[in-house]
Amino acid sequence: MSDQPRGYSYGARELAPSPVSRKALHLLEETVLWSEEDRRWLRRAGDLLVPQTEAILDVWYGFVGSLGQLVETFAGADGAPDAAYLGAVRGRFGRWIEDLCVRDWDQAWLDQQHEIALRHTRLKKNSTDGVHSASVEVPMRYLITLIVPISVTVEPFLRAAAAADDDVPAMMAAWFKAVTLTVALWTEPYAAGW
Ligand code: HEM
């Protein structure tokens, strides 16, 4: 694992336990058609994507920066995008790629998903980086819709690094399922009736 970005909390003792049970996680896995084959291809996708993390983040940050409804969540007190805030989150966003692909989806992973979820909501947004932002919560509807760009944009990175016997569509399917499942977990603190 690479160096720890500031504010990165995977495995930290002070993390609140996820309210999502292992059983509930399993039911979500079933619902996204998760399989052992996907686990294998997601790990392989991690091998290919992690070394390209900075270039992938450039694409994602370019996308977020190009849409007012997304970049406004990174506004500072003056309403303009806060470069320090964007930069601080970027390091942790990069580690999320590695954590998603490589980690076992155990209790520590579930607790980390809960922490990331809280950091998108009014319960914890802005607090990790001490930001004074007019945006107090990332709207859940954008969390869900960002699944599409976060999914489709990795394909060129997989293709660029794939070996002859790699199955890029299988890696894409595994990545898409994994991103969808994590965003489903992240809706928990937003949603009554989760
Ligand atoms: C598939 C969807 C998304 C993924 C995978 C994702 C991923 C992440 C990750 C990994 C972090 C860092 C969490 C940490 O502190 O460890 C983060 C933070 C953040 N994300 Fe997202 N995100 C998604 C959707 C969105 C959307 C749609 C927006 C904006 C409209 C957004 C805005 C933010 C902001 C503002 C933070 C910083 C929160 C804070 O103050 O701590 N995210 N995101």
Tokens 């945006």 found at: 135
Ligand 1 contacts CB of residue 70 (under 6 A): yes
Residue 143, ligand 1, Cβ within 6 A? yes
The pLDDT tens digits of the residues spanning 130-146 come to: 999 999 999 999 999 99
**CB within 8 Å of 92: residues ≥ 6 apart:** 5, 7, 8
Answer yes or no: is the C-beta of 138 below 6 A from any ligand 1 atom: yes
Q: Whose CA is nearest to atom 9 of ligand 1?
A: 93
Q: What are residue 21's phi and psi, to 5 degrees?
A: -80, 165
- The string of DSSP codes covering 58-124 is HHHHHHHHH-HHHHGGGB-TTSSB-HHHHHHHHHHHHHHHHHHHHS--SHHHHHHHHHHHHHHSTTT
- The minimum-distance atom of ligand 1 relative to the CA of 150 is 1
Q: Does ligand 1 come within 6 angstroms of the Cβ of 142?
A: yes
- For the chain, the domains span 22-73+92-118+138-186
Residue 139 structure tokens? 């709207």
Distance of alpha carbon 194 from alpha carbon 182, whole angstroms = 14
Whether the CA torsion 181, 185, 191, 193 is positive or negative: it is positive
Tell me the pLDDT tens digit for each residue of 27-68.
999 999 999 999 999 999 999 999 999 999 999 999 999 999
3-state secondary structure of 145: helix
CATH architecture, domain defined by 22-73+92-118+138-186: Orthogonal Bundle (1.10)
**Over the chain, what is the mean pLDDT?**
96
> Does 108 contact ligand 1 (Cβ within 6 A)?
no
Residue 2: band (very low, low, confident or very high) from pLDDT cuts 50, 70, 90: low
Please give the structure tokens belonging to residue 58.
């450039």
Query: Phi and psi for 75 in degrees, rounded to 5?
Result: -70, 140
The pLDDT value given to residue 99: 97
For tokens 């509930």, the residue is: 24
